[in-house]
Structure 1
C-alpha cells in the first residue's frame, strides 16, 4: 500500500509505504526526509505522535490514512 497526502508545509506531498510482504514500512515527511520503521505499528505510532490533521490540505485525508494503515496491518494477521 502506498499513500500520498498533500500537506500545508511543503509542495512535496508526504508519502507512506506499507508493504508487509517485503518488510517495508516507510514514510516521507514534510521536509522530504525519509523514515523507515521495523513494523507498521511503529510507523503508525510515529504518525500519530508527529502528524496532526491540520497539517494537511484536506484534514480528513489524515484520518483516512490512519484508517487505511490500520486496515493494512489487520490484514497481515489473517
Structure 2
C-alpha cells in the first residue's frame, strides 16, 4: 500500500508505504524527513500520534489513511 497526502506546509507530499511482502514500513514527512518502522502497527501508532487531519489539504484523505491502516492491521491479525 502506498498513500500520498498533500500537506498544507509543503509542496512535497507526505508519503506512507506499507510493503508487507518485503517488510518495508516507512513514511516521509512534509519536511522530507523520514521514519522507518518494524511493523504496520508501529507505523500506524506513529501516524496517529504525530499527524492530524488539520495538517493536510484534504483532511478526508488523512481519515481514509488511518482507516485503511487500521483495517490492514485487523486483517493481518485475523490471518495469524
**Could you tell me the TM-score, scaled by structure 1's length?**
0.93
For residues 32-71 of structure 1, the C-alpha deviation after alignment (integer angstroms, 9 at most, x for no partner) is 1111001111111111110010000011111100011112
C-alpha distance in structure 2 between counterparts of 1:38 and 1:24, whole Å: 8
Q: Which residue of 2 aligns with 1:44?
A: 44
Shift of 1:76: 2.4
C-alpha distance in structure 1 between counterparts of 2:3 and 2:75, whole Å: 17
SS at match of 1:21: coil
SS at match of 2:21: helix
C-alpha RMSD of matched pairs (Å)? 1.0
C-alpha distance in structure 1 between counterparts of 2:72 and 2:66, whole Å: 10
C-alpha distance in structure 2 between counterparts of 1:69 and 1:35, whole Å: 16
Unaligned runs of 5+ in 2: none
